Amino acid sequence: MKIIQFIFVLMFWMATSVFFPIQAQERKELNSGLGFGFQVSQFQDDFGFGLNMTSPHVFQGHGAFRLKANQAYYEHLLDGEYVWSGYQNFSLGFVGFGGRIGEGLRLYGEGGIIGIIPSERFSTEKLRLSTYGTFGFEFFTTPAFNYFIELGVVTSRARADKIAGNPFYSNGFVASVGFRINLEK
């Protein structure tokens, strides 16, 4: 599995070198004001979707704060049938921008705290606070608009204690894709 991940990253790096070559001309500055977006996510095995808001950039454009809110669904057995039980999560994190590759690609890392509000259908907890971390790629089509993909981890160790076996939910691998619109600063 790690070899496949390494090959995927290597192929992605090589593809971006070909399609977004570094040029000796002046780059267009990306918008660095308030940002808004939408994402579709997977938290462990749980499907989710949500909204995100990014603060105006700080530290001379090298960072920002990001707030996210998601509606997620945990699939489990209830009275002999599989059901999706909705729950919410929200996060507040700091984003560090790692640099740009050519005109259209920017790399970043993000980490912070996440709050999970589980459903009473599968958990007795009211709120689970934890941490998360991701790294991401933003593909800019204009200085104001980008598509993104981010991969990372949530360390919640949240358990569905009303389900036989107390399985984990919203814990482990996280993947999100979406778009953002950034206003001028």
* pLDDT band for position 163 (cuts 50, 70, 90): confident
Of the listed ranges 26-30, 111-115, 160-164, the least confidently predicted one is 26-30
- pTM score of the predicted model: 0.80
- Render pLDDT for 131-145 as a digit per residue (tens, 0 to 9): 999 999 999 999 999
Please say whether the beta carbons of 71 and 51 come within 8 A: no
CATH code for 54-182? Answer: 2.40.160
- Render pLDDT for 76-127 as a digit per residue (tens, 0 to 9): 888 888 989 999 999 999 999 988 888 889 999 999 999 999 999 899 999 9
Biggest distance spanned by C-alpha atoms of the chain: 64
CA dist 15 and 83 (Å) reads: 41
Look up residue 54 and give its amino acid.
T
- Render pLDDT for 140-160 as a digit per residue (tens, 0 to 9): 999 999 999 999 999 999 888
Handedness of CA 114, 144, 33, 103 (dihedral sign): positive
